[in-house]
Structure 1
């Protein structure tokens, strides 16, 4: 049995929840590709780090949201907080030719404290960087998009990206943490124990 004065050598983070919805003006349908990124010291214990929701059509009327309620469930173990997990969303629609059209990208860090959180993730889509690219995009009806889906979480190269706000997504997560050598998972209910 570990002594109380002994320093913990690792910790675990469990994230479960759901990608609830996205609100994007001017679109009638959409689906979401998501992934959870993390640093090199993080090891996946259980769950899936990426997935694709179903295509959701918005209800007739003034409601502009696509409802997915798609589950997220992943558990990590790490020895270093560097590279804390982030959820990355890429929201797409399908055009009349069956092509995927980007509606917006967004990312947010998973909260580091145990509890239940409603994350409002702002979505944006890249714009053509030159008049020629804009004209080519308009003629081909193919909008600019990132080659790497993890790009919204990276800092290098973002300062030169032109982007336009396109809406937001709501992600609900429950975060639990555990430090090695302790038997109790810390969560919003047991935090005061």
Structure 2
């Protein structure tokens, strides 16, 4: 059971496939960055590497099917300073690399995804990019020797963790769009706040039901009162008529009823 003010997040994830990359024999390296107020158990691994997978032609693209499973257990504890602000969610950073027969590896793309804030099943396809150098020499080096420009800090895919300024400039940083990676995430959230909210909803529902019962009873009473008022008005109107008119109308009705 989680402590009060704590959110427990389970993620059963799967790196399904990678598609649209230039070279074969792909593998994915990934890790999870935890923002402030987030923590994980001591046994929890926050990084991993998939197996190397050969691609398969599927339509116009080459697809590598990894089906690599991973599990995350994370905790968010709300502090006094974060009560008025929305919490930041953990980010999964990953890079796609290729390895050829001569053991030459190349960076095929970088990407990131924010773990979903809602529970359930999420199928996400994340596009990737890689840094490039201008000129034919860089492409020849990449083809014959292997290797390519790499990021010193993979968190540069988003806002680097070491950046403390207000504006981040990427002017002059050249990139190239590459393929994409497909993830399947099964997210489960556990918190006492959910139980309290459910209890409040049930209490509110019972109050609404009672109010609904009262409203139905009051509507029946109002109909009966309206009928009684109409009946009294008819009796008063009958009593205010002259007696000879009442007797004449009564005799007329009696004659009409005779055969």
Same fold by TM-score greater than 0.5: yes
- Give the structure 2 partner of residue 190 of structure 1: none
Match of 1:41 among 37, 41, 47: 37
**TM-score for both structures, normalised by structure 1:** 0.78
Once the two structures are TM-superposed, the CA of residue 141 in structure 1 deviates from its matched residue by 4.3
SS at match of 1:72: strand
Cα displacement (A) at 1:144? 0.6
Shift of 1:89: 1.5
Other-structure match for 1:93: 98
8 A Cα contact 1:86 1:153, kept in partner: no
Partner of 1:126: 131
CA shift for structure 1 position 115: 0.6
Which runs of at least 4 in structure 1 moved beyond 6 Å after TM superposition?
Answer: none
Q: RMSD of the TM alignment (CA)?
A: 2.8
> 1:64 is paired with a residue of what secondary structure?
strand
1:23-62 alignment, distance < 5 Å = 23-45=19-41, 47-59=44-56, 62=59
Partner Cα distance (1:117, 1:154) in 2? 24
8 A contact 2:31–2:94 mirrored in 1 = yes
Give the gaps of 5 or more residues in structure 2.
Answer: 79-85, 197-259
Q: Report the equivalent of 1:22.
A: 18
Indicate how the Cα distance of structure 1 residues 111 and 25 shifts in structure 2: closer, same or farther if over 3 A, else same.
same
Cα deviation, residue 61, structure 1: 6.5
Which residue of 167, 173, 179 corresponds with 2:185? 173
- In structure 2, C-alpha distance between the alignment counterparts of 1:83 and 1:100, rounded to whole Å: 34
Q: Structure 1 residue 164 and structure 2 residue 210: aligned?
A: no
Determine if the alignment matches structure 1 residue 112 to structure 2 residue 110.
no
CA–CA distance in 2 between the matches of 1:107 and 1:114? Answer: 19
User: Across the two proteins, how many residue pairs are aligned to each other?
Assistant: 176
Specify which structure has the bigger relative contact order, considering alpha-carbon pairs within 8 angstroms and separated by 6 or more residues.
1
**Structure-2-length-normalised TM-score:** 0.60
1:135-150 alignment runs, 5 A limit? 135=137, 138-139=140-141, 141-150=146-155
Larger-Rg structure = 2
In structure 1, the partner of 2:108 is 103
Task: Give how far 1:83 is off.
Answer: 3.3
| Higher percent of residues as strand | 1
